[in-house]
Structure 1
Amino acid sequence: MTVSESHYTRPSSGTDTILEVRNASVSFDMERGESRVLDDVSIDIERNEVIGVVGESGSGKSMFASALLDAVPDPGITTGDITYYPEQGDPVDVLDLSKQGLKEFRWEDVSMVFQGAMSSFNPVRKIETHFVETLDSHNYNVDEGMERTREILRDLYLDPERVLDAYPHELSGGMKQRALIALSLVLEPEVLVMDEPTAALDLLMQRSIIALLQDLKERYDLTIVFITHDLPLVADVADRVGVLYAFEFAEIGPTDEILEHATHPYTRLLLKSTPNLESPIEAMRPVEGSAPDPVNVPAGCSFHPRCPLADEQCEATDPGPYEVDGDHHVHCHHWEDAEETIPMVDSDIDQYDDVALATTADQSSDDPVVSLDDVEVHFEKETGFFDFFSDPDVVRAVDGVSLDVYENDAVVLVGESGCGKTTLGKTAVGLQEPTGGSVEYRGEDIWDVNAGTGSGDVDWETIRRSLQIVHQDPGSSLNPHRRVKASLEEPLRRWNDELDGNDRTQRILSLLKHVGMEPPEDYIERYPHQLSGGEQQRVALIRAMLMNPELILADEPVSALDVSLRVEMMDLLIRLQDTFDTSYLFVSHDLSNARYIARKTGGRIAVVYLGEIVEIGPPEQIINDPQHPYTQALRWATPELDADRGAEEPPIRKIDIPDPTDPPSGCRYHTRCPEAREVCKQQTPDAYAASDEQSHRATCFRTQPDHEYWTSSPIDEADLETVGAPDAAASDD
């Protein structure tokens, strides 16, 4: 049945609304027409609930957050009604507040945590100064406020004195984000709006902050609006979820209902497209098509051009909302048919067995393309003027790694930010010279070749052509002043000078079509800023492939993309591997993406921690039978489409990674490992066989049933308090 307008009136009993949004819209006047980036949205946010707001990039999530605080940047115009109901006092019309009233409302009643913690802090002022200025500008008692600040920081597992005395750049990303959360809570607001607060963080830090939110909610009596593009991320913490599509809510309901019985076709397709550790690999499918332009949103249901259930009614009439069950509402004429028409696992799923996927065995040749032997990459940290006479700290970004990459191979490097993944990858493709050990291409030390002391069988140009990189941010790797055609012609001119202009153009058009950029004649004349993130990544991939490389370092190639696009991009990478017979060295912080890539290519997952590979093996062993406690922690931290995981005890002692300039003795993970014993502090474990699978190895004493670990004493917790605490941000990956 359709929900009447009375559904949107404030309930008189049974619920307690703190924010009431009615027909809220945000629009910008543009030369090509009105851009409506929030379209007639209505929702009630209840006191003391956590509501997750989920959607693709450009769906209106951030504009919804800004509208709640009447903080839409000029020249945007916000219309409709947004009412705040304080626990005591009269309702507040947010859109009618004065400048002074808004200043008080935005910090004291509703506070905001932004995505970029670094950009939220003044880089030349200490963290303490930000708190003092905030308290002072709102006429709060500074001494009492700073005492509250210290209490909040302790609740967030931070050392208050150290954090307050630091500049922003001296804190890791996770520490800055938690400091920003503390700043948003210092004036005791009732509502905390969090706009992608964990997007720039790795999995362990994401999961740790998510776990903290429930405690913060109860301790500080908060209502939390958590905005994200990643639906599994809020499964643990949200009471309700609202799914935004094309600037309006497509579906709103209790979290478990949305995850288990979504009724909007878009929500169901979004769930199917989300890489995760539990679903069959071949059940994951991308959402076909693309989101609409805000200047030209389709009439009727805005999702109908992409919807398998769409008919004439959908094209003509804007749907709903329809009541599914109690608090579960959906904007779809055919919601009753969605679950049957779009099953989460397709009827032919029985065909998706292990035989259909690549296998690790016999996938690789005997001779590696690239071989790393005991590679070290150590950096000296920059020192200030007063440190001139002291020895510089050394960051051990990579410390004793040996790894072979074979023909048509795929190795996925997984780990936290600062663990050395990207540095290791760049070293493997000759973009970073090691400070110890050797890197060989086809048996030839590449840095001997670079220095002119090689055997002469391989020249440096061949190595540079054979070892390529695709960067995480394709937009910054493409020249903004050159059209797609010019960017792609450059490698062809250099390496295929026998081709004339027409041949080059035809090859480029063919490849654009091959990666789904149609019509290619249209895309070839565009500049990078005229492409979406996914399209920019496709162009970057084509440019690398035009070199006919033997190994490509793909540095977080899908992390900047929407969840709905990740499977599509990973499938494209796999198709290109088949077409060009290349090998991949992937860098990822996400085990779900690592599993997808490694499982479909017959590759391996290598888990990296503080410059060392602590476990490596086929994806099924790494995911289903992890032997190293750090791998187990990453497994725990990986978001799942399961609303019942919140009670799991974290398999880790500490949130923050140790200082890479002073790594712990023995096993480097022992300061965070709940299984560590005294022997782990004193001895460095070798890479032991971890299972019956020959290629599965882990650097953990627990894999050895007769090791002295089993008779060693447990580590004294007090000893760990002073070990491995980072004094500054961790090194770049």
Structure 2
Amino acid sequence: MSKNVRLESTRTSDDVIFELRDVSVTFDMDRGTSRVLDNVEFDVERGEILGVVGESGSGKSMFASAMLDAVVDPGVLSGDVVYHPENGEPIDVLGLSDEELRQFRWEEVSMVFQGAMNSFNPTKKIRNHFVETLKAHGYDVEEGIEHARDLIADLFMEPDNVMDSYPHELSGGMKQRALIALSMVLDPEVLVMDEPTAALDLLMQRSIIRLMEKIQRKYDITIVFITHDLPLVAELADRLAVMYAFEFVESGPTQEILTNPAHPYTRSLLNATPNIKAPVDEMKPIEGSAPDPVNVPEGCSYHPRCPMADETCVSVDPGYYGIDADHRAKCHHWEQSAEAVPLQGIRERIEDADESTYDVIAADEDSTPVVTLDDVEVHFEDADGGIIADLFGDPDIVRAVDGISLDIYENEVVALVGESGCGKTTLGKTAIGLQRPTGGSVKYRGQDVWDAKDRRGDVDVPHGEIRKALQIIHQDPGSALNPNRTIMHSLTMPLKQWNPDLDMADRQARILGMLERVGMSPPEDYAQRYPHQLSGGEKQRVALIRALLMEPDLILGDEAISALDVSLRVEMMDLMLELQEIFDTAFLFISHDFSNARYITEKAGGRIGVMYLGEIVEMGPVDQIVNDPKHPYTKSLVWATPDLETDKGDEEMPIRDIDIPNPKNPPSGCRFHTRCPEAREVCSRETPEPTSSDGDEIHQAACFREYDNHEYWSSPAITGDDGSTAGEAGAGAHATGQSDD
């Protein structure tokens, strides 16, 4: 590419590869100018892995777009963005022509986006995407494809299977890794990754983090890793940069930021992040909310939420204060921040954690369960088999739920964790009567739910009463709220249906009271808003209110907080538990995040169930599941959960294959045996029943290792198809991936 645009360098170090000076991004709106990147000054160092963290809407993605001059219209990008190639003069990125910019974005700097599926043409095989990219930049296709094969193998996938697949034939994790390989096929100097693992499960996230470490060392590239998940990037990054209100408020070496942060926002963010190891009562939400980009506060942008704010903070925008040579923060009072916002969690662990903040009533397991699932099966015919398969062959069967028994008691909190496609959501919807089982039974207080629905036999509890008693909070509350109706209207409708005796005044009073109780004040204002006028956390509160207005016995929370920032998750879970006390309801909490499941169940004295390919492989009290897991799959999930500990050494991955098997054709015997580092030959042909080696009926695992005398102990060990053993991800990945849960 032509590099005839030059700027005189202002850098002070030969190690800087990107300079941003006074960089802003603005959008003109009817209500004013929205400044979504605010006079940013920042250097990216050559060869480093930089982690950029912050809440949603803080400007992280705009920072990435500014680096590549990729801000979409009608956004206006201003300032100086200077790229320093390893050999040659600096390049003014904003001064490149369209053709020069097109080449620059692949050959010098490449980007990996969050939505891998949207980055591939669904009508073309993965190989064609590589070929087109190589041809467009004048590279030798044959050599380029060989390089692509090496990259795919480095990312623990089988090159031929991936190359010859269409995007829809790959799992989410495989598509994301294929996109990483595509972004690196032209050997760029910088790889910008914008939330590349946000839609992936914990095991896949942690695996990709590990793979990126190896890729960075092997290919000697600079990586800018953008995420809202601070614990996730902590293990990977050499340096962390924290964004708030469209600017960097602190940056420095990762270990320094985690152990000695100087900005009160960074300290509060660390305290608010759900953590699998920290005492739950030490995790505190950040009070207040992030500023509107049209109306950013004068002075320090954080002062409305900061416990140290004074008149100086209100009126004077702080510059960067040097904490040490590589650590800086925008805070007038950084020297007092440690005292004002003490770090909690793993850094100042309390050996004997206090009792739960809420006096949550423990489940009374001597009483009749609210919901009973007995040997429940939910099998689906594969909808993607195509018309030919439907006409001339037997359809594939997806065993989403395969023989699960579970009791849920009054006021109990049960969390289901596991990877996408394991059947969590299907099991949850079956438990509340939204999904008809194909086998087994589902009972509400002893009444078969589907007998009541079909009016079959003697019905003691009408189906309408069951529907009212079993409610759901969806993952995306925005899609569950009518965009054309006010919040008052959306909340009034279920009350009118299920409480017809209430008059309009009573209904409105009850709704306003609930809005006030969940912190949406003044409630009269929020009641007249439309969904698009609410933040993500506010929409989720409305969804919680709508469920609780029915005074249910059980609420299914289907990934109910996964779309929220980590700083809001603790607040939302605290609210759910606070309202549980008032309404005497049980929660079935579905999550792929072990930290979230651990937080809510430990505060409630609940249980965690671990699901894998349609089966519950371990169930027990949260403390035992987290600190003394019995099943190898549970151990791998605990290992994969980020915990802000960056010094983990070179511990091996406790799993043989990164990719989950195809649920249309699950492995025989123990379904985890193809990935299990402890698997032996008997595991491939026999299915273990849940048991406990110490006789603990509450904590059980479906693993032969829990049997004292079993053929397992004399059976030969299993290794991967390529000879891999524990700690090595198998390269023989399936070409077809799992269905989404």
Provide the TM-score with structure 1 as the length reference. Answer: 0.96
- Residue 11 of structure 1 corresponds to 12
CA–CA distance in structure 2, aligned partners of residues 444 and 476 of structure 1: 32
CA–CA distance in structure 1, aligned partners of residues 357 and 251 of structure 2: 37
In the alignment, which of 477, 486, 507 is matched to residue 489 of structure 2?
Answer: 486
- Cα separation, partners in 2 of 1:400 and 1:493, compared to 1, 3 Å: same
| Amino acid aligned to 2:354 | D
> What do the CA deviations read for 1:382-437 (whole angstroms, capped 9, x no partner)?
22233230111111111110000011111100000111100010111111111111
- Residue 3 of structure 1 corresponds to none
In the alignment, which of 714, 734, 737 is matched to residue 729 of structure 1?
Answer: 737
How many Å apart are 1:702 and its aligned residue? 1.0
CA–CA distance in structure 2, aligned partners of residues 691 and 31 of structure 1: 67
- Cα separation, partners in 2 of 1:304 and 1:359, compared to 1, 3 Å: closer
Q: What SS does structure 2 have at the residue aligned with 1:175? A: helix
- Residue 320 of structure 1 corresponds to 319
How many Å apart are 1:9 and its aligned residue? 4.3
How many Å apart are 1:579 and its aligned residue? 1.2
CA–CA distance in structure 1, aligned partners of residues 674 and 203 of structure 2: 15
| Amino acid aligned to 1:731 | S
8 Å contact kept, 2:360–2:580: no
| Amino acid aligned to 2:480 | S
CA–CA distance in structure 1, aligned partners of residues 314 and 96 of structure 2: 39
8 Å contact kept, 2:418–2:612: yes
Give ranges in structure 2 of 5+ residues lacking alignment: 1-8, 725-729
How many Å apart are 1:558 and its aligned residue? 0.6
CA–CA distance in structure 1, aligned partners of residues 363 and 226 of structure 2: 45
- Residue 280 of structure 1 corresponds to 279
CA–CA distance in structure 2, aligned partners of residues 583 and 727 of structure 1: 40
Residue 708 of structure 1 pairs with residue 727 of structure 2: no
How many Å apart are 1:704 and its aligned residue? 2.2
| Amino acid aligned to 2:119 | S
CA–CA distance in structure 2, aligned partners of residues 449 and 724 of structure 1: 48
- Residue 372 of structure 1 corresponds to 373
| Amino acid aligned to 2:368 | D
- Residue 581 of structure 1 corresponds to 584
| Amino acid aligned to 2:647 | D
| Amino acid aligned to 2:494 | P
- Residue 421 of structure 2 corresponds to 418
| Amino acid aligned to 2:277 | E
CA–CA distance in structure 1, aligned partners of residues 441 and 697 of structure 2: 24
- Cα separation, partners in 2 of 1:709 and 1:480, compared to 1, 3 Å: same
CA–CA distance in structure 1, aligned partners of residues 732 and 362 of structure 2: 39
- Cα separation, partners in 2 of 1:362 and 1:732, compared to 1, 3 Å: closer
Residue 403 of structure 1 pairs with residue 402 of structure 2: no
Q: How does 1:337-486 map to 2 (within 5 A)?
A: 337-345=336-344, 352-354=353-355, 363-382=364-383, 383-387=385-389, 388-486=391-489
How many Å apart are 1:691 and its aligned residue? 4.7
Give ranges in structure 1 of 5+ residues lacking alignment: 1-7
| Amino acid aligned to 1:711 | S
How many Å apart are 1:628 and its aligned residue? 0.3
8 Å contact kept, 2:371–2:445: yes
Alignment identity in percent? 63
In the alignment, which of 603, 611, 615 is matched to residue 612 of structure 1?
Answer: 615
CA–CA distance in structure 1, aligned partners of residues 649 and 400 of structure 2: 33
CA–CA distance in structure 1, aligned partners of residues 615 and 731 of structure 2: 19
CA–CA distance in structure 2, aligned partners of residues 492 and 271 of structure 1: 40
| Amino acid aligned to 1:533 | G
8 Å contact kept, 1:478–1:487: yes
| Amino acid aligned to 2:452 | V
CA–CA distance in structure 1, aligned partners of residues 435 and 662 of structure 2: 22
CA–CA distance in structure 2, aligned partners of residues 141 and 436 of structure 1: 56
Residue 52 of structure 1 pairs with residue 55 of structure 2: no
CA–CA distance in structure 2, aligned partners of residues 489 and 351 of structure 1: 45
- Residue 180 of structure 2 corresponds to 181
| Amino acid aligned to 2:526 | Y
| Amino acid aligned to 1:597 | I
- Residue 153 of structure 2 corresponds to 154
Q: What SS does structure 2 have at the residue aligned with 1:136? A: helix
How many Å apart are 1:362 and its aligned residue? 5.7
CA–CA distance in structure 1, aligned partners of residues 10 and 252 of structure 2: 17
Deviates more, 1:706-715 or 1:562-571: 706-715
Q: What SS does structure 1 have at the residue aligned with 2:392? A: coil
How many Å apart are 1:606 and its aligned residue? 0.1
| RMSD across aligned positions (CA) | 1.9
Provide the TM-score with structure 2 as the length reference. Answer: 0.95
Q: What SS does structure 2 have at the residue aligned with 1:257? A: helix
Q: What SS does structure 1 have at the residue aligned with 2:721? A: helix
CA–CA distance in structure 2, aligned partners of residues 274 and 477 of structure 1: 27
| Amino acid aligned to 1:222 | I
How many Å apart are 1:608 and its aligned residue? 0.2
Q: How does 1:558-637 map to 2 (within 5 A)?
A: 558-637=561-640
CA–CA distance in structure 1, aligned partners of residues 731 and 296 of structure 2: 56
- Cα separation, partners in 2 of 1:644 and 1:363, compared to 1, 3 Å: farther
- Residue 501 of structure 2 corresponds to 498
How many Å apart are 1:151 and its aligned residue? 1.0
| Amino acid aligned to 2:691 | Y
> What do the CA deviations read for 1:66-102 (whole angstroms, capped 9, x no partner)?
0000000011111111111111121110011110110
> What do the CA deviations read for 1:308-367 (whole angstroms, capped 9, x no partner)?
011011011111200001100000011011112211139996884247676896644521
CA–CA distance in structure 2, aligned partners of residues 83 and 155 of structure 1: 31
How many Å apart are 1:290 and its aligned residue? 0.2
8 Å contact kept, 2:157–2:733: no
Residue 88 of structure 1 pairs with residue 96 of structure 2: no
CA–CA distance in structure 1, aligned partners of residues 356 and 280 of structure 2: 12
- Cα separation, partners in 2 of 1:565 and 1:365, compared to 1, 3 Å: farther
- Residue 33 of structure 2 corresponds to 34
8 Å contact kept, 1:445–1:454: no
- Residue 4 of structure 1 corresponds to none
Residue 694 of structure 1 pairs with residue 700 of structure 2: no
How many Å apart are 1:456 and its aligned residue? 2.1
- Residue 546 of structure 1 corresponds to 549
CA–CA distance in structure 2, aligned partners of residues 216 and 345 of structure 1: 34
- Cα separation, partners in 2 of 1:355 and 1:563, compared to 1, 3 Å: closer
CA–CA distance in structure 2, aligned partners of residues 530 and 166 of structure 1: 42
> What do the CA deviations read for 1:24-51 (whole angstroms, capped 9, x no partner)?
1111111111111001111111111000
Q: What SS does structure 2 have at the residue aligned with 1:717? A: coil
Residue 231 of structure 1 pairs with residue 234 of structure 2: no
- Cα separation, partners in 2 of 1:652 and 1:360, compared to 1, 3 Å: farther
| Amino acid aligned to 1:219 | K
CA–CA distance in structure 1, aligned partners of residues 723 and 17 of structure 2: 43
How many Å apart are 1:700 and its aligned residue? 0.8
Q: What SS does structure 2 have at the residue aligned with 1:105? A: helix
Q: What SS does structure 2 have at the residue aligned with 1:535? A: helix
8 Å contact kept, 1:397–1:731: no
> What do the CA deviations read for 1:495-516 (whole angstroms, capped 9, x no partner)?
1111111111111100000011
CA–CA distance in structure 2, aligned partners of residues 716 and 350 of structure 1: 40
Q: What SS does structure 1 have at the residue aligned with 2:242? A: strand
- Residue 531 of structure 2 corresponds to 528
Deviates more, 1:204-213 or 1:127-136: 127-136
Task: Give the total of aligned pairs.
Answer: 724
How many Å apart are 1:275 and its aligned residue? 0.3
| Amino acid aligned to 1:476 | S
- Residue 245 of structure 1 corresponds to 244
- Cα separation, partners in 2 of 1:362 and 1:440, compared to 1, 3 Å: closer
8 Å contact kept, 2:162–2:735: no
- Residue 63 of structure 2 corresponds to 64
- Cα separation, partners in 2 of 1:138 and 1:348, compared to 1, 3 Å: closer
- Cα separation, partners in 2 of 1:544 and 1:35, compared to 1, 3 Å: same
Q: What SS does structure 1 have at the residue aligned with 2:278? A: coil
Q: What SS does structure 2 have at the residue aligned with 1:666? A: coil
8 Å contact kept, 1:173–1:729: yes
